[in-house]
A and B are shown apart, each in its own frame.
Chain A
């Protein structure tokens, strides 16, 4: 199978995630876009691991680490989103300007 096909799908998912992070207002939707970007990275790691066929399975192990960090990130992120909603009654990221002025 062609390696570049898998990498192109990964690049597409990453770009879609970048668009979502930049264009969405709702903080939960921003978190979903970040998950898409992390998944694109995982796809890259697994594809290169399958391409190089290394004996240590480094690509897959680092994909597992990325999945664990994604779980931690979404837990912390949703806690922060809940806290902001409780204090400000909104989770639109352009209305949360506490640190801006």
Chain B
């Protein structure tokens, strides 16, 4: 096991444990904070894989904006804070079976298909490369995404405002 794999394993442990705590904790606010831990360590993994722009975008948008939005949602809906069994439904056993079998099948297929593939970590994709590629090869999807984002935010405002 070399250096990057040790660092990755540590970050993956943090991300996995925090992710499991997100879906098992009884406290809604704590779930949001565990989500911050999981998303932050995934951002560090992105940087480890040479995707520094994605990593910082993850920190800005997920940790900075989406978690704050979710906390606003928790506050505005008076979610049950600190109460047991009101945050889960009766299907926990079935859900666990489905998730565990999905994980088993995926892991089997991954190690069977990609078990010997390596990621070369020498090359970092710079932000300049991403910008050049996005505005030469992917201009149309980029514009479509921006229009989609605008439409979604206008729709969110229209949905959430109170009618006079």
Contact = CB atoms under 8 A, between A and B. Distances in A.
B82 interface: no
B70 A75 contact: no
Interface in B86-133: 86-89, 91-92, 94-96, 98-100, 102-103, 106-107, 110-111, 114-115, 117-121, 123, 125, 129-130, 133
Interface in A8-52: 8-9, 11-20, 22-29, 31-33, 35-36, 39, 42-43, 46-47, 49-51
A15 B76 CA distance: 29
B111 to A, nearest CB: 5
Q: What is the interface of chain A mostly: helix, strand, loop, or mixed?
A: helix
Nearest to B123: A53
B155 A76 contact: yes
A32 B32 contact: yes
Contacts of B92: 23
B110 A57 contact: no
Across the A-B interface, the 4 shortest Cβ-Cβ residue pairs: A22-B95, A20-B23, A72-B152, A19-B99
Given A25-B86, A27-B77, 12 more contacts: A11-B107, A13-B16, A15-B99, A22-B94, A28-B70, A36-B23, A47-B119, A58-B133, A68-B146, A68-B149, A71-B61, A79-B157
